[in-house]
Amino acid sequence: MAGWAGVELSALNPLRTLWLALAAAFLFALLLQLAPARLLPSCALFQDLLRYGKTKQSGSRRPAVCRAFDVPKRYFSHFYVISVVWNGSLLWLLSQSLFLGAPFPNWLGALLRTLGATQFQALEMESKASRMPVAELALSAFLVLVFLWVHSLRRLFECFYISVFSNAAIHVVQYCFGLVYYVLVGLTVLSQVPMDDKNVYVLGKNLLIQARWFHILGTVMFFWSSAHQYKCHVILSNLRRNKKGVVIHCQHRIPFGDWFEYVSSANYLAELMIYISMAVTFGLHNLTWWLVVTYVFFSQALSAFFNHKFYRSTFVSYPKHRKAFLPFLF
């Protein structure tokens, strides 16, 4: 196992490098916000690129040059439209390959190899050193891609039928990043499928036979986390509706119930748990996916920090025991 860990850590392919860089960037941004105020960069654009929604509206009036690049926050739905279509297509291609032996299109195979796709000959040689068997890794990637597609489909539903968006904005750079994000995440999952040239490892009819405890645990954690996130979004939505479900205002109120009793950004905590459930589904030792989880952790922690700061500065009666992101810790 030690030898496998060394191989994993030394293989810093393009995808791992990208996720590591993103995680480091958001960690640096978070540390800057936690530093004394005098050390914070005074550049308005820097702060504008980090904040979105209600946290852009707090504090002094934003410069006109920043407001010129605003995009409505309700455009979040575009991210999930892209994800449902793109990752649904990847899921279809993967299903055809895993169960019917159909090769990936040439462009997709070449792209995955460039990004650092897993080669299953190497996996077979290393399986004797306690590495996850090839078939189990293929099943893990399939399940995680299913989870990603289901997650995007639910979030798209919530954007259209649950969430009540105000006139809050996001920066156009944040918008473009969001469009690219789910494309990149889908490719990251697909790159974990064992490949030989343009062919992938074929599971055939042995799907259930390859299921292991971490597949089951990861699935349970995914639906548990998703249910909590859905409930949190309903709670936030109901703050702007009357008892009949009619939207009556777009103002901000203090949320109560579910994980909001512990943290200000319970929906962000649920997002982190969803990605951790995918790491469990990968068997807990997939370095590439843990780098994705690390990025999600720091990016959500940064947004939660801004949310917490907004709530505490806006509401005098805001519960003092609540933390920003992690119950009892942060």
- Residue ranges per domain, the chain? 68-119+131-209, 212-329
Strand, helix or coil for residue 125:
helix
Specify the pLDDT at position 254: 97
Specify the pLDDT at position 189: 97
**Residue 87 near residue 145 (C-beta atoms within 8 A):** yes
**Residue 63 near residue 82 (C-beta atoms within 8 A):** no
Specify the pLDDT at position 187: 97
CA atoms within 13 A on the CB side of 250: 10
CA atoms within 13 A on the CB side of 171: 19
What tokens were used for 210?
Answer: 């390859």
**Residue 196 near residue 71 (C-beta atoms within 8 A):** no
**Residue 289 near residue 281 (C-beta atoms within 8 A):** no
Specify the pLDDT at position 58: 59
Q: What is the pLDDT of residues 256-293, one digit of tens each?
A: 999 999 999 999 999 999 999 999 999 998 999 999 99
Q: Please tell me the total number of residues recorded for the chain in this structure.
A: 330
**Residue 15 near residue 115 (C-beta atoms within 8 A):** yes
The parts of the chain modelled with pLDDT lower than 70 are 1-10, 38-42, 57-61, 119-132, 197-198, 203-207
In the 8-state DSSP scheme, what is residue 258? G
Specify the pLDDT at position 292: 98
Specify the pLDDT at position 313: 93
